[in-house]
Chains A and B, each alone.
Chain A
């Protein structure tokens, strides 16, 4: 009967139910979008680091993220290679430069130079062309998300980077940058040309260890050999990049802050509607109390009301959130929805409604059951 009572109380006043559901819905959509954006941003920030499948990164001291690294001496790579426990040290070149569109104007891009035969950072999710095609003259690969921004339409179109001509030889799908600066993949030698980097310089030496090698020992050994550079584990580099983009710049704080705000607004709306609904049904709760119901019984009625609101609001909110996620899929800043985030949102919604129910429970617990005689 607690479910029946809660259900009828909730559906008795359709207008109030609508207000409650709209409140939860907006809260869910807002939190889903904010946290989805956060996940999307996080995924973009660490995608290059994760896709490189390295154990250690040798880089310029104080490098804050993948895109903004100063060059280091190519000798550092050999220093790493000569360290016991190192299986491979792959050179990677990455730097910002200008892309001059064939249609006129220019835009900033990040050129990433790596050779497939080295097993370095090759483009993934290739939807047109082939990574081997990068060996062809002037070849570069870009993500199809940025075709319009780069002023090209298809494979074979050309543009200029630095003083050199480049030709689109392949397209990827979903390799997007948090800075909204398109990535341009090419070979290491062509990348050096495009960004005007001397042959004795690289941006990173991506180190892969031999099986069984101790990461910390090898890192210390390499660091001792390259005192002017910094050696980070993949996890450290990932954390540093995330901290820089999400927290040092305030972008992540804004996203998480928005999510918290969404939760607060949702909690207040649900609390207000549950409280006023409980107030309207106060005499019924007093009657229940007079009939001898325990506090737990009354709590169950109110919490069931809150849970019903949560489930309904969640279902509606998630439907809209999923539509927004779908629409954002091919934009420069996709919103990511994972099963984990969906579960977290459900937990947050139920938590939000449970907290909201507290005010209603407090109100009911203060009822004087003797009021049943005063109607």
Chain B
């Protein structure tokens, strides 16, 4: 019932004048996932339905073992659901081969990982270019696109730096640039702030919320970091493989400066 709410709520999302502001770029319906075999079989997801709209940053929050990462893997076309359907950018994933799923990821999905997953032997610019290279974008076009993505995340001065010579926050921003460079319809972030200190974590969330303002892109971040909530347009809560709540943040998204100001105000009070 609550899972249905998440879907219906998204579908019904309208602007002040009643017109639909954004379109659905990812839609999952009645997703069930069983992991393991025989006696060890576990139902990690139990009929999850949700939609992601372009122009929104959605947080998926829940305790460890609640099925967040499994759901993220399915939404990212890395795992296939046992039951249910998934549609990304209008393409159904039903019956697709692993190679076709990879193609769908390549065209429509960008990932940001908890541990950044950068290539340690490549510079920041090269790390971004890899994501373009797998999409067939090469040569000067790729260099320009990679540099533009890194400029956008504020790493203009780190183009030639290797991950080992960058802070965690900088590495995560490279990962964001890598996900961004391919102009995906959906960006999926797995605990993007978990390995970062407070300042860098907030900076990365600020970046994601800005990226989510693009009306052609939806951003979903899996997290259990409450500091990230002010940046979200919507928060989904998952427990035991079921979406148990959805909160739409009608008051709007706070910027990192507003957040700092509010924190200072609270501290003074």
Contact = CB atoms under 8 A, between A and B. Distances in A.
Q: Is chain B found bound to chain A in the same assembly?
A: yes
Interface of A: 1-2, 4-5, 8-9, 12, 283-284, 287-295, 297, 369-370, 372-375
A5 B122 contact: yes
Contacts of A292: 102-107, 109, 134-135
B69 to A, nearest CB: 5
Contacts of B228: none
A293 to B, nearest CB: 4
Interface stretch (B8-16, B125-133, B249-257): B125-133
Interface stretch (B58-66, B113-121, B153-161): B113-121
A282 to B, nearest CB: 12
B115 A297 contact: no
Contacts of A290: 76, 78, 105, 111, 117
B78 A293 contact: no
B79 interface: yes
A5 B120 CA distance: 10
Contacts of B6: none
Given A1-B138, A293-B134, A295-B99, A369 B119 contact: no
B93 interface: no
A4 B122 contact: yes
Contacts of B114: 373, 375
Given A1-B129, A370-B73, A372-B111, A293 B106 contact: yes
Interface residues of B, number: 33
A287 B117 contact: yes
A12 B121 contact: yes
Contacts of B170: none
Contacts of A374: 69
Interface in B124-169: 126, 129-131, 133-135, 138
Contacts of B190: 373
11 contacts: A1-B129, A12-B120, A291-B105, A291-B130, A291-B131, A291-B178, A292-B104, A292-B135, A297-B134, A370-B78, A372-B78
B72 interface: yes
A369 B74 CA distance: 11
A1 B126 contact: yes
A289 B109 CA distance: 12
A373 B106 CA distance: 18
A1 to B, nearest CB: 4
Q: Which 4 A-B pairs have the closest CB atoms?
A: A292-B106, A8-B121, A292-B105, A1-B133
A372 B135 contact: no
A372 B72 CA distance: 12
A5 B190 CA distance: 25
Nearest to A374: B69
Most buried by B among A12, A293, A297, A373: A373
B122 A8 contact: yes
B117 A283 contact: yes
Nearest to B107: A292
B99 A373 contact: no
B103 A9 contact: no
Contacts of A1: 126, 129-130, 133, 138
A372 B131 CA distance: 15
A2 to B, nearest CB: 7
Most buried by B among A291, A369, A370, A374: A291
Nearest to A286: B117
A372 B175 CA distance: 13
A372 B119 contact: no
Given A292-B106, A292-B109, A373-B73, A284 B119 contact: yes
A282 B107 CA distance: 23
A8 B127 CA distance: 12
Contact of A294 (B76, B103, B109, B119): B103
A153 B186 CA distance: 87
Nearest to A4: B126
Contacts of A4: 122, 126
A189 to B, nearest CB: 77
Nearest to A375: B115
Nearest to A283: B117
A293 B102 contact: yes
